């Protein structure tokens, strides 16, 4: 049964995703950019399957959910996406069982891209692709990151090996705030 959902209200079912789609090896970042620029719409992307567990809607298709959430966060001109209601509770629980039991399912990590010839640096959010979107080099200039309540009071200490290491932000990310 097809339904319309706000992807921001759907939870993930895994704690990380690969950066490329299985079917055509397309990078999720390229799809996000196309959605934000209006080159494609959510209707051009295969429907995500959603399953309800304990009153919360979870996606069985985490890469697509990530793409939709990120596109909206970056200014995509849509608020809802088509989805298919699924009753595959066993598949959902199988996916969730591979993650930490302390996961709140609201965030997901994009794993490192290991394909040669492409550089995706997730720590500074620099993307070099063969796409025609080269004019959009300032995508993350004023991005703000907020820790989930679970990690709000977490502090990080460098190991002695890295105690004297300094990091300089590129001008593109000079105004990024971390909270």
Q: Which two tokens stand for residue 23?
A: 């079917």
Q: How confident is the model at residue 167 (pLDDT cuts 50, 70, 90)?
A: low
31 in Cβ contact with 40 (< 8 Å): yes
Greater model confidence, 179 or 104: 104
Question: Does an H or E element contain 63, and which?
Answer: helix 62-73
Please state, in angstroms and rounded to a whole number, the distance separating the CA atoms of residues 94 and 109: 18
Please state, in angstroms and rounded to a whole number, the distance separating the CA atoms of residues 84 and 5: 9
**What residue numbers bound the domain in which 147 lies?**
2-178
Q: What is the pTM of this model?
A: 0.64
Greater model confidence, 163 or 59: 59
Q: Which two tokens stand for residue 79?
A: 């608020």
Domains identified in the chain, total number? 1
Least confident of 11-20, 77-86, 92-101, 139-148: 139-148
pLDDT in tens, 74-117: 999 999 999 999 999 999 999 989 888 778 899 999 998 766 44
Distance linking the first and last C-alpha atoms of the chain? 40
Question: Does an H or E element contain 70, and which?
Answer: helix 62-73
């Amino acid at each position: 049964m097809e339904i319309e959902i706000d992807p921001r209200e759907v939870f993930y079912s895994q704690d990380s995703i690969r950066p490329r789609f299985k079917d055509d090896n397309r990078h999720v970042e390229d799809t996000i950019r196309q959605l934000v620029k209006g080159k494609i719409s959510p209707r051009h992307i295969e429907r995500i399957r959603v399953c309800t567990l304990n009153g919360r809607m979870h996606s069985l298709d985490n890469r697509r959910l990530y793409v939709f959430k990120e596109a909206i966060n970056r200014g995509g001109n849509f608020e809802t996406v088509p989805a298919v209601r699924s009753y595959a509770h066993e598949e959902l629980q199988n996916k969730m069982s591979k993650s930490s039991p302390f996961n709140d399912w609201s965030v997901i990590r994009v794993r490192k891209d290991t394909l040669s010839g492409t550089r995706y640096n997730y720590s500074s959010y620099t993307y070099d692709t063969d796409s025609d979107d080269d004019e959009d080099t300032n995508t993350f200039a004023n991005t703000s990151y907020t820790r989930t309540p679970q990690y709000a009071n977490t502090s990080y200490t460098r190991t002695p090996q890295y105690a004297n290491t300094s990091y300089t932000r590129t001008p593109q990310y000079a105004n990024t705030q971390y909270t």
